[in-house]
Structure 1
Amino acid sequence: MRPGFLALIAVLIVLAIGADATFFTVPQTAQALLVQLGEPRALITTPGLHARLPLVQTVILFDRRLLDDEMAGEEVILGDQRRLIVDSFTRYRITDPLHYYQAVGPSEEAIRARLDAVVSGSLRRVLGGETLLGVLSADRDRIMREIRRQANGEMAGFGIVIEDVRIRRADLPAENTQAILSRMQSERERVAKQARAEGAEAAAKIRANAERERTVLLADARGEAERLRGEGEQKTIALYAGAYQQDPQFFVIWRTLAAYRDGLAGGQSRLILSPEADFFRYLRQVPQAP
Structure 2
Amino acid sequence: MRGPFAFGVLVILVALGLNSFFVVDEKHRALVLQFGQVKQVITKPGLSFKWPMIDTVVQYDDRILSLTTQPLEVTPLDDRRLVVDAFARWRITDLVRFREAVGTSGEDGARDRLDRLLTAKIREVLGAVPSTAVLSKDRTPLMNQIRDLARKEAASLGVDVIDVRLTRTDLPDQNLSATYARMRAEREREAADERARGAEAAQRVRATADRTVVEVTSQAQKEAEVIRGEADATANKIYADAYSKDQSFFAFNRALQFYSESMKSQSSSLVTQPDSLYFNYDDFLRSIGEVSKKTASSVAQGAAGQ
Provide TM-score, normalisation by structure 1. Answer: 0.78
1:144 maps to: 146
2:80 maps to: 82
**Per-residue deviation, 1:175:** 4.1
**2:36 aligned with 1:39:** yes
One-letter amino acid matched to 1:184: M
1:73 maps to: 71
**Per-residue deviation, 1:96:** 4.2
1:151, 1:162 within 8 Å by CA — same for their partners in 2?
no
2:203 maps to: 204
Q: Cα 1:138–1:122, aligned 2, differ >3 Å: closer, same or farther?
A: closer
**Per-residue deviation, 1:213:** 1.6
2:97, 2:158 within 8 Å by CA — same for their partners in 1?
yes
The C-alpha deviation readout for 1:5-25, integer Å capped at 9, x for no partner, is xxxx99998776443311113
Following TM superposition, the consecutive aligned residue runs of length 4 or more in structure 1 with deviations greater than 6 angstroms are 9-15
SS at match of 2:78: coil
Q: CA RMSD in A?
A: 3.4
**Per-residue deviation, 1:65:** 3.6
SS at match of 1:275: coil
Q: Cα 1:151–1:128, aligned 2, differ >3 Å: closer, same or farther?
A: farther
Q: Cα 1:281–1:161, aligned 2, differ >3 Å: closer, same or farther?
A: closer
Structure 1, unmatched stretches of 5+, are none
2:125, 2:142 within 8 Å by CA — same for their partners in 1?
no
**2:25 aligned with 1:23:** no
Structure 2, unmatched stretches of 5+, are 289-306
Provide the rounded CA distance (Å) in 2 between the counterparts of 1:80 and 1:265. 91
**Per-residue deviation, 1:275:** 1.8
**Per-residue deviation, 1:28:** 4.7
Q: 48-57 or 95-104, which moves further after superposition?
A: 95-104
1:61 maps to: 59
Q: Cα 1:131–1:151, aligned 2, differ >3 Å: closer, same or farther?
A: farther
5 Å-filtered alignment, 1:88-99, equals 88-99=86-97
1:70, 1:88 within 8 Å by CA — same for their partners in 2?
yes
Identity across aligned pairs (percent)?
34
1:113 maps to: 112
The C-alpha deviation readout for 1:228-281, integer Å capped at 9, x for no partner, is 21222222222222322332222212212322332354343554x432234323
**Per-residue deviation, 1:88:** 1.1
**Per-residue deviation, 1:163:** 4.2
One-letter amino acid matched to 2:150: R
SS at match of 2:132: helix
1:31, 1:45 within 8 Å by CA — same for their partners in 2?
yes
**2:260 aligned with 1:261:** yes
2:22, 2:49 within 8 Å by CA — same for their partners in 1?
yes
2:294 maps to: none
1:100, 1:160 within 8 Å by CA — same for their partners in 2?
yes
Count of aligned residue pairs for this structure pair = 277
2:127 maps to: 128
Q: Cα 1:139–1:53, aligned 2, differ >3 Å: closer, same or farther?
A: closer
